[in-house]
Copies of this chain bind each other. A is one copy, B any other.
């Protein structure tokens, strides 16, 4: 068995030394290295996204970028550096971010006149420009997005994907003439995130409103999508913030309305990051390694020919025909024709790397004009005729996506427990499930529950079950105002 932090060549990548059940965190750490998703860098808390991981991000980018562009959002690029004086313009915002800003103070040998923040997020530098660009209601709405890196110098324990000092994301920043528009748009973006998690990652999410204490620094309110992982923890997937007029006032972003009156704009900002890749890995993977939803897999199918000296030529020729047929269908295929590895070794390697479908093909299959097809998610194997293999595999990939989603949905649904008292809520949390409870909305109750159980408030679903008449807050016994999700959370 391979030691746990060993940085290794391909030869040593096989096998995880712990199960997901035994040690979730160690399982994750081994898996992301052995599946060649991540490597460590010389800078603590900064990680290398290897091709297998970066491809996932490219698929997410393609999907989400298309969604927002069709909806009228345009892409831009703003500078990485933000002068300290600009970062500190909105009071709540800077309080939220200043403790974890990386500061540049030298260019070559020259000390800078004012130190520069490496962007932790771009509200301040973007809205400085918005205040120049927006003059009239005709300039609205202004809806811009950028795909970029951001830096937050975490002092907590870093974990690849989930908490890293540098990460990749998109940040959208829109300005509108009316409050209703920003309310609608902030919600629409959450719907886009829900679709992205569902359609690309095969992950169901809980959509709702964050509590006051968990909202974005500088926002009126924050909407989120939250996922529930097999280890009993919840995790925030993406957020959309209604900023109200807070930044408009701090940055003096005004427009003349139809009556030539000056008005402050209404703004939102919204982000989805490479953290989502970590969520996906944790959600679907198993003790054999990574399990990838087909839509993000760099290789959707791997063909492993079973090679004997007397039939090698025919088997490889047939394997190439199958590869071509599948590629014509838009399926990405790796033909693993390496001769110095055994089929069994290859099976393990591609299972570790999460390839959704494996096709095995030997001389006996050839005789029967069929191949063996194995699913990575379930391990099921079936014989399929080579004629029509392209259609069959296309359908199978769709089926795999749907089944992975359904499994994750089942996990989520089975782990939401309605409770009406603090004692029950604590029990639910200690059992690794999610609490759904009537809450008065008071921060003290949230805090008290957190101290007792370690659970954080997640969000308040948009669609609320009706509260009973005189329904009481699960924590303080005062009148409940809404239902809310709570759970242990990353």
Contacts and interface: CB of A to CB of B under 8 A. Distances in A.
Contacts of A132: 7, 39
A43 B116 contact: yes
A9 B54 contact: no
Nearest to A256: B9
A87 to B, nearest CB: 10
A86 B106 CA distance: 18
Contact of A166 (B81, B151, B168): B81
Contact of A155 (B81, B108, B118): B108
Nearest to A133: B9
A443 interface: no
A45 B118 CA distance: 15
Nearest to A43: B81
Copies in the assembly, this chain: 2
Interface stretch (A135-143, A189-197, A355-363, A405-413): A135-143
Interface stretch (A14-22, A97-105, A364-372, A471-479): A97-105
A340 B110 CA distance: 51
Given A75-B55, A75-B58, A80-B166, A98 B108 contact: yes
A149 interface: yes
A403 to B, nearest CB: 29
A183 interface: no
Nearest to A154: B107
B102 A104 contact: yes
A10 interface: yes
Contact of A99 (B75, B109, B115): B109
Contacts of A76: 48-51, 54
B48 A139 contact: no
Contacts of A55: 74-75
A77 interface: yes
Interface of A: 7, 9-11, 39, 41-43, 46-51, 54-55, 57-58, 74-83, 86, 98-110, 115-116, 118, 125, 128-129, 132-136, 138-139, 144, 148-149, 151, 153, 155, 165-166, 168, 340
Ordered nearest first, which 5 A-B pairs have the shortest CB separation?
A: A107-B153, A9-B135, A51-B74, A46-B79, A49-B77
27 contacts: A9-B139, A41-B79, A41-B129, A42-B125, A42-B128, A43-B82, A46-B80, A46-B81, A48-B77, A48-B78, A49-B78, A55-B75, A57-B77, A80-B118, A80-B149, A81-B166, A98-B108, A99-B108, A99-B109, A100-B108, A101-B108, A102-B116, A105-B106, A107-B155, A110-B155, A138-B340, A149-B149
